[in-house]
């Protein structure tokens, strides 16, 4: 992803106001629960071969309070299209996530994306679908992590990345993540605190 934005991004509050206005116009709840990669739960559908059902959880990996701010600031600093994406409703709330990737540049109204090109932001309000909140740890642990169809939601930010941005000011590179995990293992072997 290009790390230099050359568009006129709004502040998070301006973008949220536009998003909530759109949700209200469509009759959706404007009270929002923001979720991230670790909150998504893909499960196989037994009635449809190759089909998937998705839900969410915030019980087992709750997002920190400032996660939305960090994700928005990081995504807004890139030149890739940012997307406000509504997955569905639970009683009185819209379940939403932020997505970002150049892949969304060609997505438009035919795919359910409403574009604000002056901001390089799209909004995907979805339909009036309900989304299931997963509260059973067994279902959460058995969720599908691989071997599933590619989905728009694959472009949401991970809470692990948010932790890296909080700790280091940026996401770590793959070799840095590997080195960090090896350092933690070595400390455990040597009996040192992590």
128 contacts 68 by C-beta, under 8 angstroms: no
Low-confidence ranges of the chain (pLDDT < 50): 1-2
Half-sphere exposure of 161 (CA within 13 A, CB side): 17
- Give the pLDDT score at 111: 93
Position 149 scores a pLDDT of 64
Residue bearing tokens 């406000």: 84
What is residue 54's predicted lDDT score, i.e. its pLDDT? 81
Report which DSSP code applies to 130.
Answer: B
CB 41 within 8 A of CB 54: yes
Per-residue pLDDT, 95: 95
DSSP state of 139: H
Contacts of 60 (CB under 8 A, 6+ apart): 137, 140
pLDDT given at position 193: 74
Structure confidence at residue 17 (pLDDT):
97
H/E stretch holding 145: none
Q: What is the pLDDT of residue 16?
A: 97
The reported pTM is: 0.84
d(CA 74, CA 64): 16
- Predicted local distance difference test score (pLDDT) of residue 5: 54
Confidence (pLDDT) at 55: 87
């Amino acid at each position: 992803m290009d790390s230099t934005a050359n568009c006129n991004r709004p502040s998070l509050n301006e973008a949220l106001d536009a998003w909530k206005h759109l949700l209200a116009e469509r009759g959706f709840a404007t009270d929002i629960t923001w979720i991230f990669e670790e909150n998504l739960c893909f499960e196989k559908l037994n009635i449809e071969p190759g089909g998937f059902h998705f839900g969410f959880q915030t019980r087992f990996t709750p997002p920190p309070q400032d996660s939305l701010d960090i994700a928005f600031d990081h995504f807004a600093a890139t030149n890739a299209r940012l997307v406000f994406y509504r997955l569905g409703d639970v009683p009185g709330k819209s379940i939403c996530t932020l997505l970002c990737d150049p892949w969304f540049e060609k997505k438009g109204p035919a795919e359910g994306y409403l574009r604000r090109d002056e901001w390089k932001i799209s909004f995907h309000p979805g339909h009036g679908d309900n989304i299931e909140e997963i509260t059973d740890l067994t279902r959460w642990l058995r969720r599908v992590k691989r071997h599933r169809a590619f989905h728009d939601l694959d472009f949401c930010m991970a809470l692990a990345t948010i932790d890296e941005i909080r700790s280091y000011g940026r996401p770590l590179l793959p070799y840095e993540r590997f080195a960090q995990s090896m350092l933690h293992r070595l400390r455990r072997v040597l009996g040192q605190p992590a």
